[in-house]
Amino acid sequence: MPLSIRLTLNGTPRDIALDDPRVTLLDLLRERLALPGTKKGCDRGQCGACTVLVNGRRVNSCLALAATLDGAEVTTIEGLAQQDDLHPVQAAFIENDGFQCGYCTPGQIMSAVGLILEGEAGDDPERIREGMSGNLCRCAAYHGITRAVQEATRRMDNQRQGDAA
């Protein structure tokens, strides 16, 4: 008997029937909901390629059972941009060469967004590297990633200050 859950996925409420209560959020996103931006890397929670935001917090979707997320708000890489406007983190990754092959980039970006929203990014490169340490990049684009997070943090802080005024 299928289990039914409700997710707000990238801002849209979705009722989803799960045939198997053991399906991970990663497999649900990629295989059932046609959202391939979230990557399957190690499938063990060690590389961060599958990072998404669940209720505004960073989660390795390969470790999260979809059945446990009833009522959750899930944001994937596909949900960051607003029409043609890139999210500040996406724009900063492009401008600071924060990717090379691009495979880890969606998870890196989602982790960076979470890090900034959690107030843990700041401007200190060491603090950013520590906060992003759960996301591996085999191409070693770490310097560009760190610069991108610094730049995006400044942009998002300025944006929040402008919204508050």
- 70 and 15 share a domain? yes
Token pair in block for residue 119: 């107030």
Q: Is the same domain home to 30 and 73? A: yes
pLDDT at residue 74 in the model = 98
Predicted local confidence at residue 99, as pLDDT:
84
pLDDT of residue 28: 98
Give the CATH number of the domain where residue 96 resides: 1.10.150.120
Q: Does residue 60 sit in the same domain as residue 42?
A: yes
pLDDT digits (tens, 9 = 90+) for 109-146: 999 999 999 988 888 999 999 999 999 988 889 999 99
Which pLDDT does position 3 carry in this prediction? 93
At residue 163, the pLDDT reads 82
Burial of 63 per CB tally in 10 Å (0-12, 13-18, 19+): middle
Q: What pLDDT shows up at residue 101?
A: 87
Q: Are residues 117 and 59 in the same domain?
A: no
Instruction: Quote the number of domains for the chain.
Output: 2
SS3 71: coil
Residue 36, domain CATH: 3.10.20.30
Domain of residue 73: give its range.
3-79
pLDDT at 121: 87
3-state secondary structure of 34: coil
pLDDT value of position 8: 98
Give the pLDDT of residue 160. 82
Boundary-marking domain end, from 57, 79, 101: 79
CB distance 73 to 67 below 8 Å = no
Please say which residue of 55, 79, 103 terminates a domain.
79
- Of 15, 45, 79, the residue at which a domain comes to its end is 79
pLDDT attached to residue 122: 82
Mean pLDDT, contiguous 10-residue spans, the chain (165 residues): 93 96 97 97 95 97 98 98 94 92 93 94 91 91 94 89 79
CA distance linking residue 116 with residue 113, whole number of Å: 5
Give the relative orientation of helices 105-117 and 88-95 as an angle to the nearest 10 degrees: 130
